[in-house]
């Protein structure tokens, strides 16, 4: 069986600051943080350590593959504390031979088997 992380509520996939820091630590990625004001209050931004602050240095949890073993480990170790402000992250197990994708409605996600479609 393979494990995949999805968001189980309306809102959207996201890790908490401590969840993302834990993930980066597991991956061995050195980072620096800055605080900034965002749409929903202050937030922490993560940057690759020692790099110029540009798009290539910015780290964001949306870039993580949902079957990344370090992401699975983060959820298993932190539980609910890994979920971001608008997320309720969980792990779904599916058979190894399934070619999958994540489908969502308003941020509430599920795992679906890939298939072909035409218009």
Average pLDDT of 34-55? 82
Q: Rounded distance, CA 35 to CA 76, Å? A: 27
Nearest by Cα to 75 from 5, 2, 1 = 5
The band of 17, judged by pLDDT with boundaries at 50, 70 and 90, is very high
Buried b (16+ CB within 10 A) or exposed e, 62-80: eebebebebbbbbbeebee
Query: What's the full length of the chain, in residues?
Result: 119
Rounded mean pLDDT of 78-97?
96
Cα separation, 86 vs 20, whole angstroms: 14
Closest CA to 110 of 90, 96, 95, 87: 90
- Say if CB 94 and CB 111 are below 8 A apart: yes
Q: Which segment of 20-24, 57-61, 88-92, 97-101 scores lowest on mean pLDDT?
A: 57-61
As given in the structure block, the two tokens for residue 1 are 């069986």
What is the pTM for the complete model shown? 0.89
Lowest mean pLDDT among 8-12, 37-41, 43-47, 76-80: 37-41
Can you tell me whether residue 27 is helix, strand or coil? helix
């Amino acid at each position: 069986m393979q494990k995949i992380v999805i968001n189980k509520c309306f809102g959207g996939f996201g890790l908490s600051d401590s969840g993302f820091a834990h993930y980066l630590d597991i991956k061995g990625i050195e980072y620096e943080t800055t605080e900034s004001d965002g749409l929903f209050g202050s937030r922490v931004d993560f940057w690759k350590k020692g790099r110029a602050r540009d798009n290539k240095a910015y780290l964001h949890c949306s870039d993580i593959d949902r079957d990344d073993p370090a992401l699975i480990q983060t959820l298993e170790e932190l539980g609910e504390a890994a979920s971001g402000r608008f997320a309720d992250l969980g792990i779904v197990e599916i058979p190894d031979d399934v070619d999958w994708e994540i489908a969502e409605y308003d941020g509430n996600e599920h795992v679906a088997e890939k298939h072909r479609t035409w218009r």
